[in-house]
Amino acid sequence: MSQKTSGGAAENTRAIEDTVVTDFSTRMSYGAYLALPELLQLQRPISEPEHHDELLFIIQHQTSELWMKLLLHEARAARQCLIDDDLGGALKRIARIKHIQETLIQQWSVLATLTPTEYAEFRGFLGNSSGFQSHQYRAIEFILGNKHAGMLRVFESDPEAHAVLEGLLQEPSLYDEFLRYLARHGVPIPASVLERDVTQAHVFTPELVPVFVAIYEGAHGGDDDTWRIYETCEELVDLEDNFQLWRFRHLRTVRRTIGFKRGTGGSSGVDFLQRALELTFFPELYAVRTEIGQA
């Protein structure tokens, strides 16, 4: 119940408990731990005069990059779990990735409040900067298997970003390591798949489809090991579905905001994003659905 002041009005406050720490002269605070003084100074509008909505644009992209940093962290960990034959650990990390993806997808609804007229007020100040140049987005594509060596040219002026992408280009993807895990556990993965050039994007391999058909059909026969593999297949499908939803929301937000204008980074804009929807990470996990239940 609210306490009363001497004048009879209710105090709309709560008492600070005696145990709450308030002196941070020699202690680490919340702000210090998160480096908030530095973090909150990193939103630097460049429009002149400063346009009100540019802050939204900056925060949208900065927070997306932070979530992508965590997504990459979890994807690397999931891949390592597969290398270590820890399927449960990989599933845990993929589950977290899916929640991160959901947050990234929902963020587009905030940016979609930016009208064409509002964006036009500061778009010209962006120069050639574009989300196309996000090395973390490319890194996510690479670790999931959609590799493109030509993308490294975009990052030649950024040695650190270039090194990250070069490393991921040379390393097996998450899907590569899943297929290797299956092979070590008795699943007949074709040698051509296990020995493929991992610097290339994974492409549809018909020989893998009957392998996954056997997994999907066998999972319902009471074999726990097969069920766990089947579960992982479905988690990967969820992951790709989420990624495609992110791409689609990106496309629709761009179309809503700038129509069919060319992108600031030189891309064709909406048309370029539309073609990205045709890219896939785990094509055999979708192809298997056509085969299951066929007479």
Position 216 scores a pLDDT of 94
Give a yes or no: residue 103 inside a domain: yes
pLDDT bin (cut points 50, 70, 90) of residue 6 is low
Least confident of 90-94, 102-106, 290-294: 290-294
Tell which residue, 98, 110, 99, 122, has the closest CA to residue 249. 110
Position 7 scores a pLDDT of 57
Tell which residue, 91, 65, 108, has the closest CA to residue 238. 91
Q: Per the annotation, where are the binding residues for heme?
A: 250
Give a yes or no: residue 5 inside a domain: no
| Domain boundaries, position 127 | 51-290
Residues contacting residue 49 through CB under 8 Å, at least 6 positions apart: none
Give CA separation, 8 vs 2, 3, 12, 221, 288, in Å: 11, 9, 12, 72, 72
List the CATH number of the domain containing 234: 1.20.58.480
Q: What average pLDDT does range 279-294 have in this prediction?
A: 93
Q: How many Å apart are CA 225 and CA 217, to the nearest integer?
A: 13
Count of structural domains within the chain: 1
Give a yes or no: residue 4 inside a domain: no
Q: How many Å apart are CA 141 and CA 134, to the nearest integer?
A: 11
Q: How many Å apart are CA 240 and CA 283, to the nearest integer?
A: 10
Give a yes or no: residue 16 inside a domain: no
pLDDT bin (cut points 50, 70, 90) of residue 293 is confident
Read off the pLDDT of residues 40-74 as tens digits, 9 standing for 90 and up.
Answer: 999 999 999 999 999 999 999 999 999 999 999 99
Asked whether the bond before 188 is cis by omega within 30 degrees of 0, the reply is no
Which residue would you say has higher pLDDT here, 4 or 195? 195
Tokens encoding 199: 């610097």
Tell which residue, 89, 27, 38, 86, has the closest CA to residue 62. 38
pLDDT bin (cut points 50, 70, 90) of residue 262 is confident
Least confident of 174-178, 245-249, 273-277, 280-284: 273-277
Q: Per the annotation, where are the binding residues?
A: 57-61, 119, 123, 250, 264
Q: What average pLDDT does range 89-99 have in this prediction?
A: 98
Q: What average pLDDT does range 124-131 have in this prediction?
A: 91
Tell which residue, 78, 128, 124, 74, has the closest CA to residue 103. 74
Read off the pLDDT of residues 173-230 as tens digits, 9 standing for 90 and up.
Answer: 999 999 999 999 999 999 999 999 999 999 999 999 999 999 999 887 777 789 999 9
4 pLDDT above the threshold of 80: no
Q: Which amino acid is at 90?
A: A
Give a yes or no: residue 20 inside a domain: no
Q: How many Å apart are CA 78 and CA 98, to the nearest integer?
A: 12
Residues contacting residue 191 through CB under 8 Å, at least 6 positions apart: none
Q: How many Å apart are CA 58 and CA 65, to the nearest integer?
A: 11
Q: Per the annotation, where are the binding residues for substrate?
A: 57-61, 119, 123, 264
Mean pLDDT of the chain: 93
Give a yes or no: residue 10 inside a domain: no
Residue keyed to tokens 């005069």: 49
Q: What average pLDDT does range 11-26 have in this prediction?
A: 93
